[in-house]
Amino acid sequence: MTSLNLDDLVAIDVHTHAEISADGHPSLSPELSAASAHYFKVHGSREPTIDEMAAYYRERHMAAVVFTVDAESATGHPPIANEEVAAACAEHADALIPFASIDPWRGRAGARQARRLVEEHGVRGFKFHPSIQGFAPNDPIAYPLYEAIEELGVPALFHTGQTGIGAGVPGGGGIRLKYSNPMLVDDVAVDFPELRIILAHPSFPWQDEALAVATHKPYVYIDLSGWSPKYFPPQLVRYANTLLKDKVLFGSDYPVISPDRWLADFADLDIKPEVRPLILKDNAARLLGLDKG
């Protein structure tokens, strides 16, 4: 097992999904998984294992942040174990960086789990999907968990904007889009001022809100996953080039969008040459503490 060598990397993808466990357990229920596949037009493809993800990113001289989503309270579907994700990433420490996901409805038990995952399993951050997990980010139910994450000094990544998961299912599969408005995360940034926060995705239909929060709050970042760069709204590109050049991060949403496709489209985007390496690697390396060895 080799540790990550920052100098050898061309990019750090901060947003990839562990979709299936070693024993074949999927991260989403069959209904939501089918809806997601239809939305993203990925029918017939097989979810890669974490071992396969490592080989894929290693071949491209990239590193990837890997996580699943624990939404058991809202969906009734048991998650892939965070410990499994962390252990698999540890086997591929030259290419993979483990994040965890804890259902906010677990309360203080979730906060204890977060501490254990960081201190004993090497987890480097946490993923939240408010719409799937069925909670508003500023709901006090999640505050013990945020407090633990802030004290641990690792980032919290929040899905923002619309989601393809549940799209087309009657009632959206019970998923409420309003929970993924980035203005709800602004409250979290106020109440936990040292917490490093990543707003995931171009935040349709709240892109301007996301830009406002990231500009106003010094420890709020934006990742660019989930969309091809050719569809980025112009104000996102403008801010990435200027005010937020040190706070925008490359993310693909693999396996839904491949880094190959994302990077090919990013090459055609009007981004300043001096900003490209910041987005592709340097900002993430600093945020994740990878530049400290």
User: Is pLDDT at 98 greater than 70 in this prediction?
Assistant: yes
User: Is pLDDT at 32 greater than 70 in this prediction?
Assistant: no
Helix (H) or strand (E) holding 99: none
Domain residues for 273?
6-292
DSSP string, 230-274: GG--HHHHHHHHTTTTTTEE----BTSS-HHHHHHHHTTS---TT
Question: What CATH number should be reported for the domain holding residue 199?
Answer: 3.20.20.140
- pLDDT confidence band for 47 (50 / 70 / 90): confident
In whole angstroms, give the CA distance from residue 201 to residue 248.
10
Q: Is residue 177 part of a domain?
A: yes
* Confidence at residue 284, expressed as pLDDT on a 0 to 100 scale: 98
Q: Is residue 33 part of a domain?
A: yes
Checking 142-145 for CB contacts under 8 A at 24+ apart, the result is 142/104, 143/191, 144/107, 144/108, 144/110, 144/111, 145/102, 145/104, 145/106, 145/107, 145/110, 145/111, 145/114
User: Is pLDDT at 186 greater than 60 in this prediction?
Assistant: yes
Mean pLDDT score across all residues of the chain: 93
* Confidence at residue 167, expressed as pLDDT on a 0 to 100 scale: 86
User: Is pLDDT at 274 greater than 70 in this prediction?
Assistant: yes
Least confident of 34-48, 171-185, 225-239: 34-48
Token pair belonging to 120: 């004993």
In whole angstroms, give the CA distance from residue 20 to residue 150.
29
Distance of CA 293 to CAs 95, 104, 274, Å? 15, 31, 24
- pLDDT confidence band for 46 (50 / 70 / 90): low
Helix (H) or strand (E) holding 122: none
Count how many Cα atoms sit within 13 Å of the Cα of residue 92 in the half-sphere of its side chain.
26
Averaged pLDDT, 141-152: 98
Structural domains in the chain (count): 1
**Residue where the block lists tokens 């499994």:** 84
Q: Is residue 1 part of a domain?
A: no
* Confidence at residue 28, expressed as pLDDT on a 0 to 100 scale: 65
pLDDT per residue as tens digits for the range 10-27: 999 999 999 888 878 776
In whole angstroms, give the CA distance from residue 121 to residue 173.
33
User: Is pLDDT at 102 greater than 90 in this prediction?
Assistant: yes
| Phi, psi (deg, nearest 5) at residue 98 | -85, 130
User: Is pLDDT at 175 greater than 90 in this prediction?
Assistant: yes
pLDDT per residue as tens digits for the range 189-241: 999 999 999 999 999 999 999 999 999 999 999 999 999 999 999 999 999 99
Nearest 5 degrees, angle CA 165-CA 281-CA 88? 60
C-alpha 176: how far from chain center: 19
Averaged pLDDT, 243-268: 97
Q: Is residue 175 part of a domain?
A: yes
User: Is pLDDT at 150 greater than 90 in this prediction?
Assistant: yes
* Confidence at residue 207, expressed as pLDDT on a 0 to 100 scale: 98
Averaged pLDDT, 242-271: 97
In eight-state DSSP terms, residue 26 is B
pLDDT per residue as tens digits for the range 83-97: 999 999 999 999 999
